Amino acid sequence: MGKANKDKEMIDTMKRPVEVILRGGQFKQLTEQELSELRKKYDLKRIELEVIYFLSICGEEDTVVSIHDYLNANRGHISQTVFTLCERGYVTSAQDLKDRRYTHYSLTEEGKNIAAQTKLVWDKIISDMFEGISEEDIETFKRVSVKVSQNINNKLK
């Protein structure tokens, strides 16, 4: 096998795990597995659980637009999900006092309870994912991930 073929094979071998991670299949499967018990307990769809979790960490970025940006989901789907969560008593809504075009969402006590349980599951997922990886490598991974995300966003614009 010539040098060019060996180099191509090495690059292909390195790219496969990256493509698998970027496609998200394994990660989605892991999160589905780990979040399934919590979803069943509260009879929540995945998107509903993700909206609840987002509202627990978003600070003042608590609008449908912010949720959409974070989850990269259809705005109509997000709006319907938030409406459903309000009906179920997990989320409340309040119109922006300065700009009536915006509605702000916040968690009720029950919503906060679900978010706290979700955070424990996410912490376990992250811990399991990075098991056996040094802090230095994790920091490198974070820096590279930010750059890859920026590159993707630049291409999408």
Give the model confidence (pLDDT) of 3-41 as tens digits: 666 555 555 555 566 776 766 778 888 899 999 999 999
Q: How many domains does the chain have?
A: 1
Amino acid at 14: M
Answering whether pTM is above 0.85, one says no
CA distances from 138 to 21, 125, 134 (A): 15, 15, 6
Cα 115 to chain centroid distance, Å, stands at 13
Q: What is the CATH number of the domain that holds 79?
A: 1.10.10.10
Q: 97-115, pLDDT tens digit by residue? A: 888 888 999 999 999 999 9
Write out the residue range of the structural domain in which residue 151 sits.
45-156
DSSP secondary structure code for residue 63 in this structure: S
Residue 12 domain-assigned (yes or no): no
Q: Which two tokens stand for residue 154?
A: 């630049």
Least confident of 78-82, 109-113, 118-122, 150-154: 150-154
Of 93, 90, 91, residue with least CA distance to 104: 93
Rg of the chain in Å (alpha carbons): 20
Cα 69 from Cα 92, distance rounded (Å): 20
Residue 134 domain-assigned (yes or no): yes
Residue 34 domain-assigned (yes or no): no
Residue 2 domain-assigned (yes or no): no
Residue 40 domain-assigned (yes or no): no
Residue 98 domain-assigned (yes or no): yes
Q: Which two tokens stand for residue 88?
A: 């179920």
